[in-house]
Amino acid sequence: MTIESRIPALHGLSFDHALMWFSELQCKGLLFHPDDDPDDIVTIREGEKLFSDVEVAEARFVIGELFTELGDDVYEAAYPVFMNAMGFKLDA
């Protein structure tokens, strides 16, 4: 049985690629903080793991690649997406 991953593809290792990756996670309802282990994230309603084992491995890989390339700028790339997810508007 093949499990289809919901983790978006990372199309590059630039700041803008990271921003788009986090944005795609948000659109899919899968947004998580880059310091969190995806294996530890559970749904609030059911209390079940949000990600499959395959998705955990993919998310860990992407986050690792982003930190290797961008360092702490990963947080800066994720910041506007998290603010949007919480309903805060950022100045342009």
Per-residue pLDDT reduced to its tens digit, 22-42: 999 999 999 999 999 999 999
In a domain, 23, yes or no: yes
pLDDT over threshold 90, residue 3? no
In a domain, 74, yes or no: yes
In a domain, 24, yes or no: yes
User: pTM for this structure?
Assistant: 0.90
Q: What is the pLDDT of residue 88?
A: 87
CA 91 to mean position of chain CA atoms: 23
Per-residue pLDDT reduced to its tens digit, 49-73: 999 999 999 999 999 999 999 999 9
3-state secondary structure of 49: strand
In a domain, 7, yes or no: no
CA distance 33 to 35: 5
Range of the structural domain that residue 58 is part of? 15-85
User: What is the number of domains present in the chain?
Assistant: 1
Q: In whole numbers, what is the pLDDT of the chain averaged over residues?
A: 94
User: What percent of the residues of the chain are helix, what percent strand, and what percent coil, each to the nearest 5?
Assistant: 50, 0, 45
Torsion on CA atoms 44, 61, 35, 23, rounded to nearest 10:
-70
